Amino acid sequence: MSRKVVIKLGGGLITDKGREKTVDADAVRSVAKFIAEITDIGYAVILVHGAGSYGHILAKKWSIASGSNSSIIENQRKAVSQIRKDMVELNTIVIDSLELHGLQCECLPPSDWAIGTGKEFSGDISIFENENGVIPITFGDVVDTNDSKEFGILSGDDIMLRLSTEIDGVSHAVFLIGDAPGIMDRPPNQDGAILLESWGPNDVVNSEHYEEIDVTGGIRLKMDRAREISRNVENVWIIDGREPSRLLELLTRGQTIGTRIMPS
């Protein structure tokens, strides 16, 4: 069985988070090239991506993360189906880029297989095993909740946790972010921000990245989920997706520029 790597492409990496439905085509292209390279060296890839401006803006406008609200429910339902459509559109762009490198992908939208939000969502994780070389690819999405909330947002970070810890043979879980080289000791746009080469739950950081437009929890959620993954998976990293050669370096040399997450 080949070694497996679960990778999250943050929404802030593959889109311009502030401008509705704006993909960062260069970022998608360059990351796709390195995903192809890591499959060439024998890794089975399982891919998750975020929403960025294909999800957060509309989700925030209609309070989709808080579930149904009777006074705006008609608009919310319209927004739910629009976000799902937009996410499939973003996913198609990612898949097209991967296919240009000869990779085969299978699109698995959460609204088809997952129920509920947060890390306890239910759904059949085994469809992501990747035993046949076809890259299973999913994303943060609006999902049904099967309760009075009706719908909610399932973050790709929660999906990362479940895939990385429940699929056999995962040696690496890597979060590629778009605004920093890893976890910084303070917000990355502040002067003097320093990259932490490793981060454990007892290390205190003030690392709020782009919280103001994020409906799922920004870097904090990634850090929490990465920490949980590190209890089961040996190599858990948060690295700069704008420098995707670091992904290859990590998998070939065991080290790169970025933050290694240490278990609690």
User: Which residues contribute to the site for ligand IPE (CB under 6 A)?
Assistant: 10-11, 50-52, 55-56, 59, 83, 140-142, 153, 155-157, 214-216
**Helices (H), ranges, 170-232:** 218-229
**Single-letter residue type at 225:** R
Nearer to ligand IPE, 35 or 153 (CB): 153
| Least distance CB 21 / ligand IPE (angstroms) | 12
Query: Distance between CA atoms of 44 and 15, rounded to whole angstroms?
Result: 25
Residue (216 or 235) nearer to ligand IPE, CB: 216
Q: Which residues in 112-154 belong to E strands, given as ranges?
A: 114-115, 122-123, 135-139, 141-144, 151-154
User: Reduced to 3 states, what is the DSSP secondary structure of residue 159?
Assistant: helix
Q: What DSSP state is assigned to residue 113? A: H
Least spacing, CB of residue 11 vs ligand IPE, in Å: 2
| Residues 6 or more apart whose Cβ sits within 8 Å of residue 220 | 207, 208
Q: Which amino acid is at 181?
A: P
Nearer to ligand IPE, 28 or 59 (CB): 59
Closest CA to 9 of 94, 82, 111: 94
42: its two tokens: 């024998």
- Shortest spacing between CB 55 and ligand IPE, in angstroms: 3
Q: Are strands 122-123 and 114-115 parallel, antiparallel or unpaired?
A: antiparallel
Nearer to ligand IPE, 132 or 215 (CB): 215
Closer Cβ to ligand IPE, 177 or 248, answer by number: 177
Q: Which of 180, 124, 125 lies closest to 10, judged by CA? A: 180
Q: How far is the CB of 254 from ligand IPE (least distance, A)?
A: 26
**Closest approach of ligand IPE to the CB of residue 190, in Å:** 21
Cβ proximity to ligand IPE: between 51 and 184 the closer is: 51
CB of 93 to ligand IPE, least distance (A): 14
